[in-house]
Amino acid sequence: MTQAHDQLVPVPDAAVAGTSCTLEQYREMYGRSIEDPHGFWLKQAQRLNWVAPPTRVGDWSFDPVRINWFADGTLNICFNAVDRHVNAGRGEDIALIFEPDDPVADVRKLTYAQLLEEVVRMAGTLLRMGVAKGDRVTIYMPMTIEGVVAMLACARIGAIHSVVFGGFSPDAIAGRIEDCASDWVICADEGLRGAKRIPLKANVDAALKKVSVRGVLVVRHTGGEIDMTEGRDHWYHELSQGVPAECPCVTMNAEDPLFILYTSGSTGKPKGVLHTTGGYAVWTETTFRYVFDYRAGEIYWCTADIGWVTGHSYIVYGPLQNGATALIFEGVPNYPEHDRFWRIVDKHKVAILYTAPTAIRALMREGDDWVTRHDLSSLRLLGSVGEPINPEAWRWYRDVVGKSRVPVVDTWWQTETGGVMITTLPGAHAMKPGSAGRPFFGIRPQIVDNEGKVLADEDKNVAAEGNLCITASWPGQARTVYGDHDRFVQTYFSHYKGKYFTGDGCRRDGDGYYWITGRVDDVINVSGHRMGTAEVESALVLHEKVSEAAVVGYPHDIKGQGIYCYVTLKAGEEPDDDLARELRNWVRTEIGPIASPDHIQFTPALPKTRSGKIMRRILRKIAEDDYGSLGDTSTLADPSLVDGLIAGRKNR
Ligand code: PRX
C-alpha cells in the first residue's frame, strides 16, 4: 500500500460533498469530544428520546474493566427507531424498501407507520408465545423486512436478540443457542440467495436435535415445504391473529442488554459480544448521521446482512433512528447477472451505497460495462467496510461507480466497537485510497509495539506502524462477552494494560491518517467475514480420518483472504482428492458455507518446535508462496519437513 501524499484525493465539489461537518467543525468537535466527553456526549444524546434523560455519561475503566454509559438514563431503542418518527408526523415517510432476490418479484415498501404496525404485531406475538424481558431470542432469518421487524420487536419488549447469519450450519446455531441459553427462535421457512433456497427452518430443526428451546416462531417467506413440531413451532401468521393493536415499549435502563452477536476470535468457540441499549443507541445514531451525511428523502443502501454487526448498526439501528429510508436486498451481487447492484441503484435511485471490498473486487473483475450501462447519477456517497480495501479497488469504486465525483468513506470498525471508529467524513477530509482516515468523535487510537511501547498517539503527530489500541471508552463499546466477563477482559484488555486492543495491525502516516494492515492475531478475514483459524481446525480434527490440522489465511484476489488448511491424517489413511473434497464439505457442515476451505494440503506432519508448538509463521509464509523469507527453521524438531511442505504447495 502506498502512503504517498500525492495519493490525497480532495474533498469533492460542494455539490456532492458532505454537509454534516466541515474540516473546521470536525476539528472543533473532535477536540471537544476528547477534552469534554461529558458535555459532548450529553449533547449528542439529546437527539434521542429518553424516558429519563441521562445526567451521567461515560463511567468506565479499562483496568479493572467496567464500562457504563448514560447509566442513569432510560429509553427504548425501538421507540427511537420507529415510534418517535410516527409521533412527529413522519409516519408516511418510507422506512424500508425490500428488493427481493428475484428481480421481477414485487418490491415492498413500508412507511414508518406501517413498520410500527408490523413491529407491534411481532412484539405482541412474542409476548403471546411467552417471551419476557431479558430473554434471549435467536433470530435466523433471511434479509427480509421481517428480519428487521424481529430485531425491533425484541428490542421493544426488552428481549435480547442474538441474530445468527443464515450461512451458518445447524451445529453453529445449536452452539449459539446453548451458549446464551436462548429459549426462543425466530426463523423463516426458507431464504433465497441467487435463486438458491436456503433451508432455514430445516437447519433450525437439525440444531434443535442437539439443544432444546421453548418456542420457534416461523415466518412464511418462500412457502416451501417444512416440518412443524407440535407445541414448539408456531406459524407467525397464525399466532399473530388477533394480537392487540398496541404493544408499549418497555422502558430499558441504558445499560440493559440490547443484543448478543457471536464473533470469531483467535481461540476457542465464537464469543457472544454483548451490547447494551443507551450507549449503542447514541453511537449508531451519531455515527450514521455524520459518516453517511444522510439527507431527508434519500435512499440509503447497505448491502450487509442483518446477521453481521454492519447490518445491526447500519441497516437497522443507525438509519432508522435517523428516520432514513433504508433499502434491504435479499439476493447476491451476481444474480441474475453481474449488474444486479447497479440495476438496483438505478431502479431505486440509491444515493448512499455501503458495501464491502470483496463485493467491489468481484464486480470490478467483471468489467466496467456492467456498471456503465446503468444510470448511477443518483449516487452521492460510497462507503466501504469489513476489510482493508486495496487502492486499485478503491479507485475503481470511486471512478467507475462514483464517476470520480462522490466521496468514499472507508469505515474501520468491529463487532466489538458497535459502530464506525475510524473514517473520513465526507465534507471534511480529503481521502487516501486504502486508508480509513481519521478517528471519529471521542475515539483515541494509539499504536503500540508488541511490548506495549507507545509508537504513535493522536495527540503526538508522528508516523508509526504497530498494533492498534484504543485508550478511552466510547458509547458503543461492547460491555462484555455474554456469560464470560473474564474472557472479555482477557481478549481485549490483557495484552496492553489499560487499553482496548483491537487485534488489528495499523500504520499511521504523517498526516495522521490510519491504514489498517489486517489482523495480527489468528483471525482471518474471508470476504469480510471474520473467521477464527482455531474454529476451522477444531472442525477438521472432528473428522475421523484427521489427526491434526493447522489453518492459516493467504492472500486471495476476491475474498481478501482465503482459508488454507494443512492436514495430517491418522495412520493408515491415504490422502487423495476425494478426501480433500470430503473435508471441505465436512467443514461446511460443521460451521457453514462461509467457512469452506479454499485449499487443503495433506502433509505427513506439521512443522513444530522441539517443545511441540506448531510454527504457524512458516505455514503462513508457505501458503503465501513466500519461500524466501521463512526465517529461522533450525528450531524445528524436523527441519526437513519444510521442503516437503513447499513441494506440496507448488504442486497444488
Ligand atoms: O480487521 C478489521 C476488519 O474487520 C475486523 C472486524 O470484523 P467484524 O467484527 O466482523 O466487523 C466487520 C464490520 C465492521 C477488523 O478487526 N475491518 C473492518 N473494517 C475495515 C477492516 N479492515 C480494514 N479497513 C476497514 N475499513
Is 4 within a domain? no
380 labeled binding residue: no
Residues 413-425 pLDDT 10s? 999 999 999 999 9
414 labeled binding residue: yes
CA-nearest residue, atom 12 of ligand 1 = 386
Quote the ligand 1 centre to 503 CA distance (angstroms).
Answer: 10
**Residue from 262, 314, 385, 508 to probe ligand 1 pocket by mutation (most atoms less than 8 Å from CB):** 385
> Based on the domain organization, do 502 and 539 belong to the same domain?
no
pLDDT band at 367 (very low <50, low <70, confident <90, very high): very high
Quote the ligand 1 centre to 265 CA distance (angstroms).
Answer: 13
> Based on the domain organization, do 565 and 471 belong to the same domain?
no
Q: What is the mean pLDDT of residues 210-228?
A: 98
Q: What is the pLDDT of residue 582?
A: 97
In the chain, the number of structural domains is 2
> Based on the domain organization, do 493 and 587 belong to the same domain?
no
**Residue from 435, 491, 516, 524 to probe ligand 1 pocket by mutation (most atoms less than 8 Å from CB):** 516
357 labeled binding residue: no
Quote the ligand 1 centre to 412 CA distance (angstroms).
Answer: 6
Give the span between the Cα atoms of 440 and 379, in whole angstroms. Answer: 24
> Based on the domain organization, do 271 and 343 belong to the same domain?
yes
End residue of a domain, out of 507, 538, 554: 507
Q: What is the pLDDT of residue 15?
A: 66
pLDDT band at 14 (very low <50, low <70, confident <90, very high): low
Is 513 within a domain? no
Residues 86-118 pLDDT 10s? 999 999 999 999 999 999 999 999 999 999 999
Q: What is the pLDDT of residue 177?
A: 98
**Residue from 264, 280, 522, 525 to probe ligand 1 pocket by mutation (most atoms less than 8 Å from CB):** 525
Give the span between the Cα atoms of 7 and 509, in whole angstroms. Answer: 12
Angle at 506 (CA atoms; ends 503, 509), nearest 5 degrees: 160
CA-nearest residue, atom 21 of ligand 1 = 387
Give the span between the Cα atoms of 349 and 369, in whole angstroms. Answer: 19
471 labeled binding residue: no
Q: What is the mean pLDDT of residues 521-546?
A: 94
Contact indicator for 482, 179 with CB cutoff of 8 Å: yes
> Based on the domain organization, do 540 and 459 belong to the same domain?
no
Quote the ligand 1 centre to 529 CA distance (angstroms).
Answer: 9
Is 7 within a domain? no
Ligand 1 within 6 A of CB of 385: yes
Quote the ligand 1 centre to 502 CA distance (angstroms).
Answer: 10
Mean pLDDT value across the chain:
95
Q: 10 Å Cβ neighbour count for 96?
A: 25
Is 518 within a domain? no
Residues 577-629 pLDDT 10s? 999 999 999 999 999 999 999 999 999 999 998 888 898 889 999 999 998 87
Instruction: Flag the least confident range among 181-185, 333-337, 344-348, 636-640.
Output: 636-640
**Residue from 168, 519, 529, 530 to probe ligand 1 pocket by mutation (most atoms less than 8 Å from CB):** 530
Q: What is the pLDDT of residue 2?
A: 43
End residue of a domain, out of 476, 507, 538: 507
The pLDDT of residue 349 is above 70: yes
DSSP 8-state class, residue 609? B
> Based on the domain organization, do 367 and 470 belong to the same domain?
yes
Compute φ and ψ for 645, nearest 5 degrees: -65, -45
> Based on the domain organization, do 580 and 500 belong to the same domain?
no
> Based on the domain organization, do 503 and 567 belong to the same domain?
no
Contact indicator for 518, 505 with CB cutoff of 8 Å: yes
Q: What is the pLDDT of residue 1?
A: 41
Compute φ and ψ for 548, nearest 5 degrees: -145, 155
Compute CA 608 distance to the chain's CA centroid, rounded to the nearest angstrom.
34
**Which contiguous run of DSSP H or E holds residue 162?**
strand 160-163
Rg, the chain, Cα only = 24
Atom of ligand 1 nearest to the CA of 304: 13
End residue of a domain, out of 477, 507, 537: 507
Is 8 within a domain? no
**Residue from 315, 358, 382, 412 to probe ligand 1 pocket by mutation (most atoms less than 8 Å from CB):** 412
Residues 283-320 pLDDT 10s? 999 999 999 999 999 999 999 999 999 999 999 999 99
Ligand 1 within 6 A of CB of 503: yes
Q: What is the mean pLDDT of residues 427-450?
A: 97
Ligand 1 within 6 A of CB of 386: yes
Is 300 within a domain? yes
Give the span between the Cα atoms of 561 and 525, in whole angstroms. Answer: 6
Of the chain, the percentage scoring pLDDT greater than 90 comes to: 90
pLDDT band at 638 (very low <50, low <70, confident <90, very high): confident
527 labeled binding residue: yes
Contact indicator for 163, 275 with CB cutoff of 8 Å: no
List the domain range (segments joined by +) for residue 542. Answer: 527-648
Is residue 17 helix, strand or coil?
coil
Ligand 1 within 6 A of CB of 388: yes
> Based on the domain organization, do 129 and 247 belong to the same domain?
yes
DSSP 8-state class, residue 89? I
Cis amide linkage into residue 336, ω under 30° from 0: yes
Ligand 1 within 6 A of CB of 521: no
Q: What is the pLDDT of residue 263?
A: 96
**Which contiguous run of DSSP H or E holds residue 115?**
helix 112-129
> Based on the domain organization, do 203 and 78 belong to the same domain?
yes
Ligand 1 within 6 A of CB of 411: yes
Is 514 within a domain? no
Provide the CATH number for the domain around residue 547: 3.30.300.30
> Based on the domain organization, do 425 and 502 belong to the same domain?
yes
> Based on the domain organization, do 91 and 228 belong to the same domain?
yes
Quote the ligand 1 centre to 518 CA distance (angstroms).
Answer: 8
CA-nearest residue, atom 14 of ligand 1 = 414
The pLDDT of residue 356 is above 80: yes
Is 131 within a domain? yes
Q: What is the pLDDT of residue 343?
A: 98
The pLDDT of residue 391 is above 50: yes
Provide the CATH number for the domain around residue 213: 3.40.50.12780
Ligand 1 within 6 A of CB of 412: yes
